[in-house]
């Protein structure tokens, strides 16, 4: 794995940023925009994904990074659950649902891969050198 100098280099963070922008676009239109509770919750879940990746990286320790990656991965699951609600309420189309579900599943898989790498790596964060 290439050296990661800043959180913006992390593929899962970049994908989560795109996903968050997509969530904002979809939740800002139509009936979805008027469901303030669900709109706010799914936006918070999307924000949590990229925020926890960034915060964990900036903490400078592998154990903390792993903890924050775990939270980010959990937020992927939360966002997917909320997408089902949005679909069931006809706030989004099946095409939008499938696209966003794939994006969250891909992000979750990338986070899992990074977690697995960190568990097996002899490298340690700046905090533990």
**DSSP H or E stretch at residue 79:** helix 62-88
- Would 36 be classed as within a structural domain? yes
- Would 4 be classed as within a structural domain? no
- Would 84 be classed as within a structural domain? yes
What would the pLDDT profile of 47-94 be if each residue is shown by its tens digit? 999 999 999 999 988 889 999 999 999 999 999 999 999 999 999 999
Give the CATH number of the domain where residue 72 resides: 1.20.1440.60
- Would 56 be classed as within a structural domain? yes
Residue 35: closest CA among 79, 86, 1: 86
- Would 128 be classed as within a structural domain? no
- Would 19 be classed as within a structural domain? yes
- Would 27 be classed as within a structural domain? yes
- Would 43 be classed as within a structural domain? yes
Q: Annotate 30-66 with b (16+ C-beta within 10 A) or e (fewer).
A: eebeebeebbebbbebbbbbbbbbbbbbebeebebbe
Domain housing 13: 9-120
Q: What is the pTM of this model?
A: 0.90
Give the total number of structural domains in the chain: 1
What would the pLDDT profile of 2-59 be if each residue is shown by its tens digit? 678 899 999 999 999 999 999 999 999 999 999 999 999 999 999 999 999 999 999 9
């Amino acid at each position: 794995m290439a050296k990661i100098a800043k959180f913006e280099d992390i593929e899962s963070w970049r994908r989560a940023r795109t996903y968050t922008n997509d969530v904002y676009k979809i939740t800002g239109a139509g009936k979805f925009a008027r469901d303030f509770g669900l709109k706010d919750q799914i936006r918070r879940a999307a924000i949590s994904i990229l925020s926890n990746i960034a915060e964990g990286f900036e903490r400078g320790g592998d154990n903390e990074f792993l903890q924050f990656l775990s939270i980010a991965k959990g937020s992927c699951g939360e966002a997917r659950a909320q997408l089902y609600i949005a679909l069931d309420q006809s706030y989004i189309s099946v095409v939008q649902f499938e696209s966003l579900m794939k994006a969250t599943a891909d992000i979750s898989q990338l986070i899992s891969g990074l977690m697995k790498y960190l568990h097996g790596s002899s490298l340690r964060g700046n905090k533990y050198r």
